[in-house]
Amino acid sequence: MNEYFLPKHIKKVVVPPLKCQGIKTKLVNFIATTIKWHGRGKWIEPFLGSGVVLFNINPDRAIVSDTNKHIINFYKDIQRGQIDEIIVKSYLEDMGAKLFKYGEDFFYDVRDQFNEENGDSLKLLFLNRCCYNGIMRFNSQGKFNVPFGHKHERFRRAYITKIVNQVSKIRQIMINKDWKFQVNDWRETMSNANLDDFVYMDPPYIGRHTDYYNNWNESDAIELANFSSDLKCGFALSMWKENKYRENIHLDLHWNGFVIKTFSHFYHVGSKEKFRNAMTEALVLKAENLVDQREEKMAYSNSTHIKQISIFD
């Protein structure tokens, strides 16, 4: 019997209702089958993003944070019962009918209301699921600024059902879990780590335009690397390693001495097929947090082959 909480193979990946750039939906099994952790402490995520890794790792105890207050508030609203599948179904049916009737003018009215009201969880879900490419982006003033996705009929019955089921699954996962959602800087969140905890980091990718809420630059990335090196507990960091055109030298410069496992895949983004190239993702770990070959084979026998994936699934 495996005495560890991780590694494990996730038979059916849970897809969250919110979409963010760089979402790890199709990388979850690579992450879950590569990390070794006994599970006695807390799972800590200082860069929650969509939440897909948290919901699929599914620990009993967790402290998770993000500087994007709208994401944190959305999941806190589900956790405390202010949003559930019934509320989401009714809301999206009503909003979808208005979007179909009034089109992009209605979208921009809702976007203005969301920004003026300093954010509303249901409006965030609506905007996120019918804006251009289903992405999440905020300007320097913290205002949602993604344009309309030009699909008046976006919220058809099947699409609403899909989102409702995602909300329902997330709500069920949270039941009886000791999870704390916080709007925090990563430094404060990671300072709570104890020896038995595990820290998973998915920061904005240095050298790539993937930031969805605030600025992240090279000095931030270097500080994170230095801070992580002093952690007493286990940790893993997700970061891009290379693509067709260049390598991420940040890994060699600032994560030297740690184990790096890789996973190659395709992102289906770009205006033309020639712009949609393979990306090699890296998972940086301490040696003691890396599964051995026997454990990796037992957890998941095929975790490193190239997959065709979309970041917006």
- For residue 197, what is the domain's CATH number? 3.40.50.150
Q: What is the pLDDT of residue 87?
A: 98
Q: Check whether residue 198 and residue 285 sit in a common domain.
A: yes
6 found inside a domain: no
pLDDT tens digit sequence for 227-271: 999 999 999 999 999 988 899 999 999 999 999 999 987 655 443
Q: Can you tell me the mean pLDDT for 279-304?
A: 76
147 found inside a domain: yes
d(CA 107, CA 149): 9
d(CA 99, CA 103): 5
Q: Check whether residue 207 and residue 296 sit in a common domain.
A: yes
Assigned token pair, 230: 């002093």
Q: Check whether residue 204 and residue 302 sit in a common domain.
A: yes
**312 pLDDT exceeds 90?**
no
DSSP state of 244: S
**299 pLDDT exceeds 90?**
no
Q: Check whether residue 191 and residue 302 sit in a common domain.
A: yes
Q: Check whether residue 225 and residue 126 sit in a common domain.
A: no
**219 pLDDT exceeds 90?**
yes
Phi, psi at residue 35, to the nearest 5°? -85, 135
Q: Check whether residue 98 and residue 54 sit in a common domain.
A: no
pLDDT band at 22 (very low <50, low <70, confident <90, very high): confident
133 found inside a domain: yes
10 found inside a domain: no
5 found inside a domain: no
16 found inside a domain: no
56 found inside a domain: yes
Angle of CA points 145, 169, 263, to nearest 5°: 70
Q: Check whether residue 244 and residue 221 sit in a common domain.
A: yes
Domain of residue 93 covers 85-170
Domain boundary among 170, 193, 225: 170
d(CA 68, CA 25): 19
CATH code (residue 93): 1.10.1020.10
Q: Check whether residue 303 and residue 197 sit in a common domain.
A: yes
- How many structural domains comprise the chain? 2
Q: Check whether residue 147 and residue 214 sit in a common domain.
A: no
Q: Check whether residue 92 and residue 58 sit in a common domain.
A: no
247 found inside a domain: yes
Q: Check whether residue 256 and residue 208 sit in a common domain.
A: yes
Q: Check whether residue 242 and residue 147 sit in a common domain.
A: no
Q: Are 50 and 100 in contact (CB under 8 A)?
A: no
Q: Where are the beta strands (DSSP E) in the chain?
A: 43-45, 61-66, 178-183, 198-201, 234-243, 259-267, 278-285, 307-309
